[in-house]
Amino acid sequence: MQPQDDRPLLFVNARLVCPASGRDEIGSLLVAEGVIAELGAKVPPTARAETVDCRGHVLAPGLVDLGAFVGEPGAEHRETIETASRAAAVGGVTTIVARPDTTPPVDAPEIVDYLMRRARDTASVHVYPMAALTKGLAGAEMTEVGLLLEAGAVAFTDGPRSVASSRVMRRAMTYARDFDALICHHVEDADLAAGGAMNEGELASRLGLPGRPVAAEALMLERDLRLAALTGARYHASLVSSAESVGLIARAKAAGTRVTCGASVAHLTLNENDVGEYRTFFKLTPPLRHEDDRRALVEALADGVIDVVCSAHDPQDVETKRRPFAEAEDGAIGIETMLAAGLRLVHAGDVSLHRLLAAMSTNPAKLLGLPAGALTVGAPADLILFDPDAPWVLEAARLKSKSKNTPFDQARLQGRVWRTVVAGRTVYPYA
Amino acid sequence: MSTPSEPAPFAFPHRHLLGIEGLSAAEIEGLLAAAEDAVALSRQVEKKRTTLRGRTQVNLFFENSTRTQSSFEIAGKRLGADVMNMSVGNSSMKKGETVLDTAATLNAMRPDIIVVRHHAAGAVALLAQKVDCSVVNAGDGAHEHPTQALLDALTILRAKGRIAGLVVAICGDVLHSRVARSNIILLNALGAQVRVVAPSTLLPTGIERLGVEVFRTMREGLAGADVVMMLRLQLERMNGSFVPSVKEYFKHFGLDGAKLAYARPDAVVMHPGPMNRGVEIASEVADGPQSLIRDQVEMGVAVRMAVLETLARHLPNA
């Protein structure tokens, strides 16, 4: 981080958009000592303050990205906390919630502690670790939920793995419930989806690729929803990708079960046809689905059935992607593009700006108990200033991530972040 | 010390002692009073009575337990019975023979009392149906361990002078514990206020309907408690299956001085043994001034004498 003076920062002529309160008005916002000191239509000028003329652009809470892979420890050739946080700053993400499926996995308090110290020393945005739900991500024995929470873990997940044993999952949920800990689960019956390379269906058949059926996701999700009802645990389905899944979540919510779900920007904006001629940058977990599924996800986001929109940031180096489709690694980067790509839904008129920003900031912050996602006096000044309409063309080579496996290379996007502020300090553009 | 008299007879219309469930408060109190006499007897030089002279007592243990088995053995011998120990856990009977076959074989040897420990809930009652003698349940699975509950009650009674109105917190692996179940029933019958304190993974479904208040932290569960009863956590349940680790379990549920301070200053600490020091209980507490753990062992013999004597009243030719 660059040294900066500690002068107050006054944003004037800003379109203040707070998805938590519904505020949407032209006004000013004063940042002092790292927190939001004042905001509203009229904020008296402060003598010492550095003034930023927002020219009517949107000033909103910084984004909270639930479930990004940051490479540390063990995969520093793909990403580091430093590079991920630089990408985040450019993309308007002020809080990264890191996945624990690292090497070694984050399944012990010492590793949480290590990550917190690495983040303190190298990150320009907030980085909070999630911890493994089971030891070694092996799906057999629960981790030290109490000690991990104390060390700073904000949620529990086995990353891209599902806990196959219903008995283990039940016990982990029962135990986590006592601590009111959030469990984020990848929902796919790995056995049923084994060997699959893309969404099962006509296209996979034409391409001669083995499929991963929607039913594999529905099976695991339905089991989890029953266990959530049985145990009373706080449960979040990390990434849903199909119409069937959002239907299941909607029913569980209507029945009063404490469940939430998320979807990635890629699954909301792309479909299986993008795989085209075996383009491995579109090979994801879960796989991109049929256009009908994508439409159902967008509708579910608009209706509030989908609570969280995330990047599912998964940096892969070129070698693991330049392979025959079925052998290539899954995953795409996305932290730097989540806002701009997500805004496609707003420009298309499918989702309101408030709804999108809530799913990218307010809702994940609330789930994790983080002081973010709202423009409130006294809250940490994690802010983004962006022009939702500015057009640009994405060039993968210019992305800050250490890996460049974006599905949006050469995409025409609308919406650019002009400034990102974390705890009152400007982290982008780099001062 | 005066010479203890024969215990005052009280109504006990049961051939077996299979559980605390089904006993009336008067019957429990009768057994405890009889056990008081046995305590006095056991503290004399001459510890023997002749109540069971000529009787044969078989200790049939399908699950090894040195402590309980020796306690029953001493109890039987002090009453003059011929005691035989059968540890089926390491005999040929383990290989294929059913509980009922074992019962039939044993019955043919004409014992008067069989003391049975079995790893399966309900197995002792099943065996009791097939024999002509009295049967004492020395623990069946996670179901009941009636003599443990009686000895715990006697220990509390002697320390506190009463049971009614006391707040008793039973802490730890309630899910797998026959000790917890028998104690919950007995303490409720005698008017105590019973709590269980454990992580949710170690609590059986619907436990609150057994007449207990449920707590998931020691701070809340021990607040104002008169008696803190710790349960043993089996090794195979420690590492990730029911609780994440010994370290985490001890931190949240292990009884150390700091957690004991939540209870009343005159609270007593109990444990059915054998203890896992540093898992469910710290040595400072186990060996501390509030601990009644050694007393429990002594009361165990007395209570078992009382039970054997009481059941012997109904034996043929008694």
Distance from CA of B258 to the nearest CA of A (A): 18
In this complex, do A175 and B245 lie within 8 Å of one another by their Cβ atoms? no
Q: pLDDT at position A266, please? A: 98
Q: A146–B244: do the CB atoms touch at under 8 Å?
A: yes
Which chain B residues are within 8 Å of A145, Cβ to Cβ?
A: 244, 248
Q: Distance between CA atoms of A117 and B280, rounded to whole angstroms?
A: 33
Dist CA B68 CA B300 (whole Å): 8
Q: What is the pLDDT of residue B240?
A: 79
**Nearest Cβ partner of B201 from A143, A147, A171?**
A171
pLDDT value, residue B5: 53
CB pair distance less than 8 Å for B248 and A145: yes
Is B158 assigned a ligand-binding role in the annotation?
no
pLDDT at A431: 45
Min Cα distance B200 → chain A (Å) is 6
Which chain A residues are within 8 Å of B240, Cβ to Cβ?
134-135, 140-143
- The pair of structure tokens assigned to A403 is 């890996």
Three-state SS sequence of B155-194? HHHHHHCCCCCCEEEEECCCCCCHHHHHHHHHHHHCCCEE
pLDDT tens digits, B132-159: 999 999 999 999 999 999 999 999 999 9
Residue whose structure tokens are 């052998």: A327
What φ, ψ does residue A348 adopt, rounded to 5°?
-75, -5
* Residue B251 to residue A147, Cβ atoms within 8 A: yes
Q: Which domains can be identified in chain A, with CATH numbers?
A: 62-368 (3.20.20.140)
Q: How many CA atoms lie within 13 A of A236 on its CB side?
A: 29
CA B193 – CA A252 distance, rounded (Å): 38
Contact A144 B245 (CB under 8 A): yes
Separation of alpha carbons A78 and A404, rounded Å:
9
Residue B209 labeled ligand binder? no
Q: Is B110 annotated as a binding residue?
A: no
pLDDT for position B148: 98
Cα angle A338, A344, A349; round to 5: 135
Contacts of A178 in chain B (CB under 8 A): 199-200, 216
Q: Quote the pLDDT of residue B24.
A: 97
Nearest CA in chain B to A143: B244
B194-210: burial string, b at 16+ Cβ within 10 Å, e else: bbbbbbbbbbeeebeeb
- Report the C-alpha gap between A79 and A99 in whole angstroms: 12
Of B201, B240, B248, the CB nearest to A147: B248
Q: How far does B242 lie from chain A, in Å, by closest CA? A: 7
B204 is in an annotated binding site: no
Considering only the beta carbons, identify the residue of B200, B239, B245 that sits closest to A178: B200
Sign of CA dihedral B149, B154, B159, B163: positive
What chain B residue is nearest to A171 in terms of C-alpha separation? B201
Q: Which of A141, A145, A175 sits opposite B239 (nearest CB)?
A: A141
* pTM recorded for the entire structure: 0.92
Which of B216, B241, B242 lies closest to A178 in CB terms?
A: B216
User: Is residue B67 marked as binding?
Assistant: yes
Judging contacts by C-beta atoms under 8 Å, the chain A residues touching residue B244 are 141-147, 175
Tens digit of pLDDT at every position of chain A (431 positions): 444 567 899 999 999 999 999 999 999 999 999 999 999 998 888 878 999 999 999 999 999 999 999 999 999 999 999 999 999 999 999 999 999 999 999 999 999 999 999 999 999 999 999 999 999 999 999 999 999 999 999 999 999 999 999 999 999 999 999 999 999 999 999 999 999 999 999 999 999 999 999 999 999 999 999 999 999 999 999 999 999 999 999 999 999 999 999 999 999 999 999 999 899 999 999 999 999 999 999 999 999 999 999 999 999 998 999 999 999 999 999 999 999 999 999 999 999 999 999 999 999 999 999 999 999 999 999 999 999 999 999 999 999 999 999 999 999 999 999 999 999 999 999 64
Q: Is B242's CB within 8 Å of A145's CB? A: no
pLDDT of residue B48: 92
Sheet holding A126-129, edge to edge: A63-68, A93-98, A126-129
Return d(Cα A165, Cα A171) in angstroms, integer. Answer: 10
Segments of chain B scoring below 50 in pLDDT: 1-3
Sign of CA dihedral A7, A8, A9, A10: negative
Residues of B in contact with A144 (CB under 8 A): 244-245, 247-248
ipTM for the complex shown: 0.85
Identify residues of A whose CB sits under 8 angstroms from chain B CBs: 134-135, 140-147, 171, 174-175, 177-178, 231
- Whether the CB-CB separation of B138 and B82 falls below 8 Å is answered with no
User: CA of B252 to nearest chain A CA: how many angstroms apart?
Assistant: 8
